[in-house]
Chains A and B, each alone.
Chain A
Amino acid sequence: MKNAREKEENKDFYQTTRFDLIFIVLILFFSVVSFWVIHKRFQPSSGQSAVYIYQKDKLLEDSGLDKDKIIAILDGRMQFELKDGRVRVISTDCPHHICKNMGWIKYNGETIVCVPNQVLIEIKSEGPAIIDAVAY
């Protein structure tokens, strides 16, 4: 008699309640979200790269680096080549051509600057930056 009552109590104890279900759904939900956030956060940054071209803080052009093309700004006085996920200055009317001499950039956060034209070319991509700045 006593054993039967104990068995009945245990059965009630192990029965799944509505609260348990909500709790399981919440755990599953946060597990999936955490996995997605961590995955996105530690993705290599080369995935979705884009180039942004500014003059005096004003955005003149932006483009994904997944397609090869030529971009011209300032009525064609400066031209950029986008190729194989990289970008470089191919023509400029500035006197020293320092920006052109900088060559290709491709990593998140890398920049090319043309001081006479006050133009800043910057690579931005999703995920953490591989490097914070480039010394030269």
Chain B
Amino acid sequence: MVVFAGLWVIRSYNGRRFHVEKETRFMMDTYVTIYAVGPKAVASKAMELALNRMQEIDIKFNSLNPKSPVYAFNHTGEPISDNEIISLVQTALVISEESGGAFDISIAPLAELWGFYSKEYYLPRQEEIKDCLANVGYHYLSLDKGKLTKDNMAVRIDLGGVAKGYAINEAIKVLKSNGVTSALIDAGGDVYGLGKRGSRSWKVGIKDPRGEGTLGYVEVEDLAVMGSGDYERFFIKDGKRYHHIFNPKTGYPTEGVQSVILIYNDPVLAQAWTKIPFIMGPEKGLERLEKIPNMDVIIITESGETLYSSGLKHSLNFIK
């Protein structure tokens, strides 16, 4: 009896310790769900603060929100001096340099021209794209003494390619500082696994971009699994698919890649680099990403072929 009583006490203690709290909120043009493991009171409070922080970032970094300094920068040219935005722009500009201009936060005029902001999709003429490209290019942006300015008033920025990763990063900091060491954040298909779920790693499925279900799953611990796909936002005109990931050099949506999943410890960098294989092409993109230590990637090409980085090939698990 003593043994059974002991087992019951251990079970109750573990039940409390490994209790999973869950909350979903709509923000950043998607949903965010946090699963936090721990005593109910601790997990609930930490989750609420983390989601509040993500909503704060959503407002501040959203170029379509009139309350954001980014909106003012785009529409009136008012320089940005907010430290948090400056720091993220700096990171984005470094990635632009390192990717040879494939990643560019100044593609906002293109996204607007194609109707991805107004949701009234439009297939622009060649001349319109050419005119628009005159106002696209991160080299128009200057960062000096903590201020972001632009040389060309028509240049606009969109931090959507890094802001979600930044929001996830900040949420993780909030969770940790409030006593949560085990959690999963799912921000509309961009996922971060903090610590472990009890005795096992977090299992993150990889969506099959054209088929149903998943290609398999990876087990992660203190890692982000970030994705980009041509199926997220697109329209079809005359039988052709036009999606929201643009090549900043041609002004057209990219071709050759359906989806990219990237596994890395930094969600900001992971989110930004997911765009690179779309723009560079699957083979060159894979080659470039393989040069970043500890970064793993899955690329699904237009023809449905799956390319894996060398480190990942053996760690994708299949669901029976």
Contacts and interface: CB of A to CB of B under 8 A. Distances in A.
Contacts of B232: 98, 101, 136
A111 B227 contact: no
Contacts of B157: none
Interface stretch (A7-15, A61-69, A72-80, A113-121): A113-121
Contacts of B233: 96, 98
A95 B188 CA distance: 17
Contacts of A57: 24
Contact of A134 (B30, B119, B189, B193): B189
Contacts of B202: 132-133
Nearest to B214: A134
Nearest to A34: B7
Nearest to A96: B233
Nearest to A101: B231
B33 A111 contact: yes
B31 A132 contact: no
B206 interface: yes
A53 to B, nearest CB: 13
B29 A135 contact: no
A103 to B, nearest CB: 5
B31 A30 contact: no
Contacts of A105: 213
A130 B200 CA distance: 12
Contact of B205 (A26, A103, A115, A131): A131
A135 B225 contact: yes
B213 A115 contact: no
Nearest to A128: B200
Interface string B160-194: 00000000000000000000000010101111010
B259 to A, nearest CB: 7
B1 A135 contact: no
Interface centre among A26, A111, A130, A131 (most CB of B within 10 A): A131
A136 B189 contact: yes
Interface string B29-47: 1110101000000000000
B102 interface: no
B31 A115 contact: yes
Given A130-B319, A134-B207, A26 B1 contact: yes
B229 A104 contact: no
Given A107-B205, A120-B24, A132 B35 contact: yes
Given A115-B31, A133-B191, A134-B189, A86 B212 contact: yes
Given A115-B31, A131-B205, A136 B217 contact: no
B31 A135 contact: no
A10 B190 CA distance: 72
Interface of A: 26, 30, 57, 86, 88, 95-96, 98, 101, 103-107, 110-111, 113, 115, 118, 120, 129-136
Interface of B: 1, 4, 24, 26, 29-31, 33, 35, 119, 184, 186, 188-191, 193, 197, 202-207, 209, 211-214, 217, 225-227, 229, 231-234, 259, 261, 319
Q: Considering the complex of A and B, which 8 residue pairs feature the smallest CB-CB distances, nearest first?
A: A136-B207, A104-B212, A136-B189, A131-B205, A134-B205, A135-B225, A95-B119, A133-B186
Given A103-B212, A133-B191, 8 more contacts: A104-B213, A118-B26, A120-B31, A131-B319, A133-B186, A134-B206, A135-B205, A136-B227
17 contacts: A30-B4, A86-B212, A101-B231, A106-B212, A111-B33, A111-B186, A113-B30, A115-B31, A131-B319, A132-B202, A134-B189, A135-B191, A135-B206, A136-B189, A136-B206, A136-B229, A136-B259
